[in-house]
Amino acid sequence: MSAEMKYKMPFNYVQVVIATFSAVVTSVFVFFVSEVAGGTMRFSGGVFQNVDFFSIVRFIALPFLILGFLTFLIGRARPGFCKFAQWAGVVVVVASIINPILFAADLASGIGLSLILLIVGASWYMAVDNSNHIARKSKLERLQAKQLAAA
């Protein structure tokens, strides 16, 4: 009876919070390393003109947490959406790498911000992929419980 009473929750929002914290901490580390390496974190065009510590934290944490929550809500109704959101986030982040490469004032700034974007993409992918793994596992457990009940 307990196997059939599983909740329809293919997504664990706590994993997004943990991935957000990890992405912010790692990105801030990369930001400071790129500054020590001589990066000015100034850009001649594109979305940002100057990237600082608070920009890194704000533009990683807020979108990550908000989009993670939206994925959580939509994923409850449509579990397949989690896989789409996982790859859509990675595609957006990889496409965003063009901005620091084209508009960086120096090489260290371009490489630093590109690494930060890759960290955010990898964190998003792992948070949502782990959720999909849990959803597949619970679905397999439900199917096995139905087979045992039918037998």
Residue 129: per-residue pLDDT:
72
Label residue 137 by pLDDT band (50, 70, 90): low
For 89-111, what is each residue's pLDDT tens digit?
999 999 999 988 899 989 999 99
Mean pLDDT in residue range 118-146: 77
Query: CA of 35: how far to CAs of 28, 30, 40, 64, in Å?
Result: 11, 9, 6, 24
For 23-52, what is each residue's pLDDT tens digit?
999 999 999 999 999 999 988 876 678 889
Global pTM reads 0.79
Residue 15: is its pLDDT beyond 60? Answer: yes
Mean pLDDT in residue range 76-90: 88
Q: Say whether 79 sits in a helix, a strand or coil.
A: coil
Residue 70 half-sphere exposure toward CB, CA atoms < 13 A: 9
Which H or E element spans position 130? helix 107-150
Structure token digits, residue 128: 């949502």
Token pair 């100034």 is at which residue?
Answer: 42
Strand runs labelled E in the chain: none
